[in-house]
Structure 1
Amino acid sequence: MVSILSNGNLAPGEYFTGKVLLNLAVTPEDNLVSVVSKVTFEPKARTNWHMHPYGQILIVTEGAGYYQEKDKPAQLIKTGDVVKIPADADHWHGAAHNSGMTHIALVPPGKNSTIWGAPVTDSVYNAVNVPESKPSPALNITEKATGNRETLWPGYQSAVNITDPELAELFDNFAFDEVISHDTMDPQTRIMLILAATIASQSVTAYTMMLNAALNTGVSPVAIKEIVYQAVPYTGMAKVTDFIHATNEVFTQRGIPQATERQSTTTRETRQEAGLVKQMEIFSSSIDTAYKNSPKDLLHIQQYLTANCFGDYLTRNGLDVKTREMITLSFLVTLGGTEPQIKGHIQGNANVGNDRQTLINLLTQLLPYIGYPRILNAITCLNEILPPIKTKEIMNTAKNSEAVPKDVL
């Protein structure tokens, strides 16, 4: 089976300029409705001049680029555009100067012949004169936001800067300046928490972006795989499958082995006992209460939680328990409708050393990616389990302390 989500293999350099990935999802041998291929261009990458004797249709699925027929001006093409290429039209297409582009190409069944011509020279490509092809001087993104984004994705220019510059300003200034400036959470932890949120949000595109950011900022491949694996007991394998494939694709593109070193610490014989130890480490005596209060016909669910969720997954190496608890909370907050579990894992975080301020920082960093409703619901849970110190309590503490200056009182 071939997945259209796969970026495919490097396209032959004799027909393309720059880095281009080709995924031939449906071939002539399949004898189906049409030949279907997915083509991904890095910024400035493009095809040679070429013709299709039977025509072709392009559907742009991501980014922005150009399409040009011989002796005609180039056109900007962007996400959602459909380009109908006439039979025998001499043309080229590729990514814009400041954006990558992905398109799906379709041709009639059994008629996939392409007549290739000369490369599109730099002078021809750079002569493309569409306003959106150049960085907009009107973008008002702060220096700090620009620097933080550059740390995550060096040299990358988002297509949103071209297609939706106002949104780019609003989001970048908030997510990459205001929110990051809120606290001193290290970049690796921040990106790992956001990775967890993108899985629970079911956004493969955002996950892939953040996966590259994680690798760019020094998050290890082992830690990344552990986040994906840990998502299984909290979000379900149906939600995680696409992220396993997306992770392996990025690893392959970057020369990282898909299979990391084995991190399991338990066996079929030891997982139940080890899982119970891990549960007690995180939740203390409340586990005894959960077992005692479980109806007999549901006791197997408690046993599964112990052996599978904790024994199989939470006992693994690759991430420490404090990080794992933060990642679990990120899953739960993003999923929504999980308030009882959110409360339990807020207490679990506190039990392993993640205090109220640490969890406030976690929720703050997730805010741009999962929105206010989920975060506000989680804050309600946080205030119930780890309530803030009220002003009156602060004043009483201060009055009883000789070390506090009088002007603070």
Structure 2
Amino acid sequence: MAIRKELLFAICLCLFSANQSMAQVSKNNKIYNMTSITGKGQPAPKENFTGNVFVTMAVNPDDNLNSTVGKVTFEAKARTNWHTHPHGQILILTAGVGYYQQKGKPIQVIKEGDVVKIPVNVEHWHGASHESAMTHIAIVPSATNGTIWMTPVTDADYNKDHQSSAQPKPLKLTEAAIKNHEELLPNYVSTMQKTDPEFIELFDNFAFDEVIAYGNLDTKTRVLMILGSTIASQALTEYKVMVGGALNVGATAIEIKEVLYQSVPYVGVSKVLDFLHATNEVLLSRGIELPLPGQSTTMPQNRQEKGLALQKEIVGSRIDEMYAQSPPEQLHIQKFLSANCFGDYYTRTGLDIKTRELLTYSMLISLGGAESQVKGHIQANLNVGNDKQTLLTVTTQLLPYIGYPRTLNAISAINEITGKK
């Protein structure tokens, strides 16, 4: 039912002018009749409408144009009676949200820009939605006998579909799921509680009860890992929800920003940029002033040296082997890793090394296709004090967000590196 912009513009040009009443305008020695449909209009006949409805006619029968055209504005919950048009009708929605229903068929939601083409002699009604006013241009291709009015649309018929969607059955959530969800997202109501209540029951009871019950990871760390995972998975919608959740459970704006910055060398800036903008929007909406205090500890003169030192501290002597075994034309990548990945990012304050390594692991298992790097950073996590149980717990917390294949791949890598202990 979407209308082309060119058609809508042409219709607007025909219907609007600067004068309220009929006038004649001379241009190029031709006479044009013009009228205006600005303003609220006149109240519609109560016998044909329910609620407050206002009509402004643009083309009347006495214009001799074989059609009638008018602007009709419905306040919320107002609607026409059931009626038919012996010559059909066209509705062009210009504002708001409304309903349209043909006899025997479900109510359809119509909105600005939609065009409703009503066939000849089809019994129907149309009007505003429960929450929004609605305005449409009504076109009837007849100057006489354009509408046959019938009985009013009862409240029961008007409310039927709305009641079933606006009053869903209470969700069957466990006490733990409710408690954990409220801790993270107090008073948050997902739109899917109306559209997909059964799915929400399944997901929330699993993700916010069974999964959280495994291991002993504090809430803030868990949410920071989910943030890193959603960035790697390019799950922007879930990420924005979780940024608010992270702030709710005590994560600082600096910690959230550091999760973003830490993701750049692993995910790439082209994938991170939208998440950075989204984060700024959330922080500003919470009254947090930007930019945040800087966290960098290196300068161009020492980033290579400090990065390499920290890289060796985290990864171990294997770094020397990687440098020694690198072909000359590829050695620059090893230097980039030391100076950029570790020197520019790992050396920053705002998050400690153990958290940064857990984040890196979370992002790598969420990316998929990075099994070699996953194994390397499992060992790095062990080196900095994140034991096997911590890695299994983080992997479990990410399961609802990354799915079973990547979760099982991660567990296989953990078992391989730790010798299945």
The bucket for the TM-score relative to the shorter chain is 0.5 to 0.7
Supply the distance in 2 between the matched residues of 1:94 and 1:264 (Cα, whole angstroms).
50
CA positional deviation for 1:91:
3.7
Is the aligned partner of 1:226 residue 2:258? yes
CA positional deviation for 1:83:
6.6
Is the aligned partner of 1:192 residue 2:230? no
Is the aligned partner of 1:285 residue 2:324? no
Letter in structure 2 aligned against 1:171? F
CA positional deviation for 1:94:
5.4
Supply the distance in 2 between the matched residues of 1:198 and 1:359 (Cα, whole angstroms).
18
Cα distance change on mapping 1:70 and 1:378 into 2, 3 Å = closer
Written as runs of structure 1 = structure 2, the 5 A alignment for 1:278-317 is 278-317=310-349
Give me the TM-score of the superposition, normalised by structure 1. Answer: 0.68
CA positional deviation for 1:84:
5.3
Cα distance change on mapping 1:57 and 1:284 into 2, 3 Å = farther
Q: Which of 348, 354, 359 lines up with 2:386 in the alignment?
A: 354
1:208–1:247: 8 Å Cα contact kept in structure 2? yes
Cα distance change on mapping 1:93 and 1:134 into 2, 3 Å = closer
The equivalent residue for 2:194 is: 162
Supply the distance in 2 between the matched residues of 1:158 and 1:320 (Cα, whole angstroms).
34
Q: Deviations over 1:340-393 (max 9, x none)?
A: 10000000000000000000001000000000000111111111111233xxxx
Is the aligned partner of 1:178 residue 2:210? yes
The equivalent residue for 1:55 is: 93
Cα distance change on mapping 1:71 and 1:289 into 2, 3 Å = closer
Cα distance change on mapping 1:68 and 1:265 into 2, 3 Å = same
1:342–1:378: 8 Å Cα contact kept in structure 2? yes
Is the aligned partner of 1:206 residue 2:238? yes
The equivalent residue for 1:133 is: 166
Gaps spanning 5+ residues in structure 1: where? 1-30, 35-47, 59-66, 96-125, 390-409
Is the aligned partner of 1:336 residue 2:361? no
Q: Deviations over 1:113-138 (max 9, x none)?
A: xxxxxxxxxxxxx999521212413x
Supply the distance in 2 between the matched residues of 1:333 and 1:257 (Cα, whole angstroms).
33
Supply the distance in 1 between the matched residues of 2:415 and 2:100 (Cα, whole angstroms).
65
1:271–1:308: 8 Å Cα contact kept in structure 2? yes
Q: Deviations over 1:18-56 (max 9, x none)?
A: xxxxxxxxxxxxx9xx9xxxxxxxxxxxxx9499x9634
Supply the distance in 1 between the matched residues of 2:290 and 2:208 (Cα, whole angstroms).
30
1:200–1:235: 8 Å Cα contact kept in structure 2? yes
Q: Which of 304, 324, 327 lines up with 2:359 in the alignment?
A: 327
Q: Which of 346, 363, 382 lines up with 2:395 in the alignment?
A: 363
Cα distance change on mapping 1:321 and 1:173 into 2, 3 Å = same
Letter in structure 2 aligned against 1:167? F
2:358–2:381: 8 Å Cα contact kept in structure 1? yes
Gaps spanning 5+ residues in structure 2: where? 1-8, 13-73, 79-90, 117-125, 133-158
SS in 2 for 1:55: strand
Q: Deviations over 1:168-192 (max 9, x none)?
A: 1111111000000112211000000
RMSD: 3.3
Supply the distance in 2 between the matched residues of 1:246 and 1:273 (Cα, whole angstroms).
34
Cα distance change on mapping 1:372 and 1:127 into 2, 3 Å = closer
The count of residues paired between Structure 1 and Structure 2 equals: 303
The equivalent residue for 1:106 is: none
Supply the distance in 2 between the matched residues of 1:162 and 1:304 (Cα, whole angstroms).
50
Cα distance change on mapping 1:170 and 1:261 into 2, 3 Å = same
1:322–1:354: 8 Å Cα contact kept in structure 2? yes
Which of these two proteins has the greater Rg computed from alpha carbons? Answer: 2
Cα distance change on mapping 1:92 and 1:234 into 2, 3 Å = same
Written as runs of structure 1 = structure 2, the 5 A alignment for 1:94-173 is 129-137=162-170, 139-173=171-205
Supply the distance in 1 between the matched residues of 2:223 and 2:115 (Cα, whole angstroms).
45
Cα distance change on mapping 1:347 and 1:248 into 2, 3 Å = same
SS in 2 for 1:307: helix
CA positional deviation for 1:261:
0.6
Letter in structure 2 aligned against 1:156? Y
Cα distance change on mapping 1:205 and 1:303 into 2, 3 Å = same
SS in 1 for 2:307: helix
Supply the distance in 2 between the matched residues of 1:340 and 1:227 (Cα, whole angstroms).
22
Q: Greater shift after overlay, 340-349 or 251-260?
A: 251-260
Q: What's the % identity of the aligned pairs?
A: 49
Written as runs of structure 1 = structure 2, the 5 A alignment for 1:43-82 is 49=75, 55-56=93-94, 67-68=97-98
The equivalent residue for 2:299 is: 267
Letter in structure 2 aligned against 1:232? V
Is the aligned partner of 1:377 residue 2:409? yes
Cα distance change on mapping 1:340 and 1:69 into 2, 3 Å = closer
CA positional deviation for 1:316:
0.4
CA positional deviation for 1:140:
1.8
1:145–1:172: 8 Å Cα contact kept in structure 2? yes
Letter in structure 1 aligned against 2:93? G
